[in-house]
Amino acid sequence: MLAALRQLLQLSGGDGSEASVLQRIETVSFSPGAAGDSLTKELLDEARALVSRSERDADSAPQMTGVALSILLTGIVVSTCTQVGAQTAARTDDPSQLQAARATYHRALDEPDRVRRTRTFAEAESAFSGPASQNAHSPEILTDWGNAALGAQDLGIATLAYKRALRLDPTLERAQKNLSWLRSRAPRWLPRPQEKGAVETLFFWHRTMSTTMRHLWGAVAFAVAVLLITPWSLWRQATRTRLAVLAGLLWLALTGSALLDSVTTRDGVVAVDGITLRSADSDGAPAALASPLPAGAEIEIHEQRQNWSRIALADGTRGWVKSHTVERVVP
């Protein structure tokens, strides 16, 4: 947003009064906690006012300027809505409940007896389930829930929590390491999700950026492309056209990746241990696999029919299980 504001002011001709707003936004963006912080309501209001003033000053510019200004203003509105949504989610959480869950988790870590430790971890898992549900968009709390489930040896919930956390923040190291550890201890016959291939390595942002960030950076790339193709002058028109094409391709890649991720809701996890994968939606149908599925098996849910769900393993093996035994990564 900061880069777009600067570009906008260059095009509309700033009078110097905007320096304070830009400096304050830059200070926030470079702060150590910038990844988790949001702009204050006052600063967002000043940014919107700056955009409105620039739009009035650019009345004599070509029509495409209005399009670019609208895009930038939409980005600010999205930022405001994101901030309000995060504040609302934070208010729905009961701090005492979260603190109690973490206290129980630390008590389990200090418990020397193995049986009592597992039982206390199970209490922590149950205590974290409420905050995790209330803060479904908090990867940190979801990871805490997964850690408690892992300590309680509930591998299904642990895998589910880590996958939900990584969907929100693919770079969260705690969730990455623990999920990799769970996968390494799965039975050898159980098909595992494929490792990153050449395509995923090339389009690295699909696994390293959240869906929200891909939408936002895609919007920025689109705004830059529009500004570059606006016929301000014939100066270096060929260069500006090439850069606009590059920005447009980046917009297509980021937005397409985000849209593809938003409709990929088939991912699921087996939550109950020892589930028989059957060849049809009937208790009397023959087993599709010789061994029962363990808790934590990563699957895709393709169809639901009454109390049954048709699932697929990583190698394409398909069959039916009772719906209450599986959970979707995207609730």
Most distant CA atoms of the chain, gap in Å: 78
Query: 267-328: which CATH topology?
Result: SH3 type barrels. (2.30.30)
pLDDT of residue 311: 96
**Domain spanning 95-184: which CATH class is it, in words?**
mainly alpha
pLDDT of residue 51: 59
pLDDT of residue 140: 94
pLDDT of residue 8: 53
pLDDT of residue 6: 57
Domain boundaries, the chain: 95-184, 267-328
Contacts of 15 (CB under 8 A, 6+ apart): none
pLDDT in tens, 215-266: 788 888 888 888 888 776 666 777 878 888 888 888 888 777 766 665 456 8
Burial 285-320 (b: 16+ CB within 10 A, else e): eeebbeeebbbbbbbbbeeeeeebbbbbbeeeeebb
Q: Which amino acid is at 108?
A: A
pLDDT of residue 91: 43
Collect the ranges in the chain with pLDDT lower than 70: 1-94, 195-211, 232-235, 258-265
Give the global pTM.
0.61
pLDDT of residue 82: 46
Q: What is the rounded CA–CA span in Å between residue 99 and residue 286?
A: 48
Contacts of 229 (CB under 8 A, 6+ apart): 64, 240, 241, 244
Q: What is the rounded CA–CA span in Å between residue 156 and residue 172?
A: 19
Q: What is the rounded CA–CA span in Å between residue 144 and residue 248?
A: 39
Token pair listed for 37: 């912080």
pLDDT of residue 5: 56
